[in-house]
A and B are shown apart, each in its own frame.
Chain A
Amino acid sequence: MSATSGTAGAAGTAVTAGTAPRRRASLARLGRLLAPVLLGVAVLVAWQALVVGADLPPYLLPSPTAIAEQLREVVPLVWSAALATGANVLVGLLVGAATAVLAAVVAARSRMVDGLLSPTAAAVSVMPIVALAPALNTLFGTTSTTPRRLVVAVVVFAPVFVTTLRGLRQVQPVHRDLMRAYAATGAQTTRTVTIPGALPYLFTGLRIASSTGVIAAVVAEYFGGLQNGLGSRITSAAANSAYARAWAFVLGAIVLGLVFYLATAAVERVVARRHGTVPDVT
């Protein structure tokens, strides 16, 4: 009885939250979306005015219109380069995240393994890509995508490991008591409480790792090897003094980074919503 009155009440408030406030809410939302777009347009106009007005040489800063022109010419090339780099990011992200999650599960169960892995993760997280990429290139040969994917995996490992381990340690005392009261085995507790509870943390780590993963994949291409990715295209365009073209590829890299970021942020949101907590998207 009380349950039905509960639904009726909830439904009532939902319905009475009528049209006027909703219109105001959608207006506010439109404004929120519009503001960054307007800012972007303003920046582009100022940029164009600066380049034309001060007559800047293209090697210093090409104008937005020049970049747009180049982009129109090389769009298929930007697309294929973004696909090649994107594949590296995706594979590296999955491999790095899977390794990190496995390591975190083991570390959460054993204090000794934690003592071994946590300092290692800290060391891995400060490993410079610029040093790692050439070394891996020599190791795997310059015709392989493996070194680039490994660089991404290495960069992804640390944030995912740290956040997942933290999530695995967040088991509420009341849940621990309940599982003991149910005489649940360690494996049952891990499967039903610990791992699902750590999922929002894992996806937060993945969101953080995704943008650094894209940067790592692009930078890893600066050190020779296959010439099919965005990073290689940027360096070769710049080497040929085609600065506007280099910027067109940079634009492609930005879009690629945004795609990975938004995709992981969306997954994070879905998981968090299932858990009844909406994440602070930063």
Chain B
Amino acid sequence: MTFPATDCAFEGFRLTRRAPLAVLSWAGAYAVFIGLMFMLVGPHFVTVLSVITEMQAQGQTEPSPKDVERLAQAYGVIIGWAMPLGLLFSAVISTAIARSVIRPEDRKFGYLRVGKDELRVLGASLLVSLIMFAVTFAGFMIVTLATAGAMALPALWLVVVLLSLAIIGLLIWLSVRLSLVVPSTFAEGRIMLKPAFAMTGKKVFWPLLGMAIIAGILAMLVGLLGSAVAAPLSLMVGDSEQLVAMQGASVPSLLSALGPMLAVSLVVQAVLSAAQIVIMYAPFSAAYLQLKGAPRA
């Protein structure tokens, strides 16, 4: 069975028209998430910046063992918070998008929840990420080995290039084959790795890839238009002369002086991220419904 790929590619726009408040609430969730991350890891981010500033001031090109220790500590905290919270937030947002397409009537809290569905989607996303990581890592190792061989035998450079292209092709193929894991996991109420893989076989692969390309380009266009619309706003609040005049100022004073600019950036970033993610993700849920022969809202 196949499906109308170009029609599904526009599901994000349809969803925005159907449930604008939900999309706005996702933008709000993004703003809260970015703000929360800033509060949790902000001081450690300042540590990283100040270590780099000190190194530059002392003309150091390599960090000292003490600097490395401070950097490692700061990065450890940043990654320690950002990884789990980022994964959970991503699962919440992608489940909300899937819910809004597959169960549009379930619109409470802008489709946002933290429950079993989100945990299942988190598990499925982790599995997909692990598979992709394993393939990328194996590919990287193979290319590294071939590159080492090419250093000794230059004729192998062609093999290196062909292998790299083959691995990129394999990753694209795998991404398409696993692209319906999230909507099917949400719809079926269990992690659907193998069935989703089986669903995206021969006849569906190319339309699905085409749909993903169109959705990606649409998201790019929205990002471009959004930044064009937001640029005058940023220019109004972000006084570039003030920014240049503050060269070398401490990070806290920079943050306090550029508060309005940061606030505008936060809002713009949150709205654009939400819009782009809806345009990118919603088509896969629509494609899943079409392939299942279920009616779409």
Interaction A to B: no
Which residues of chain A have a CB within 8 Å of any CB of chain B? none
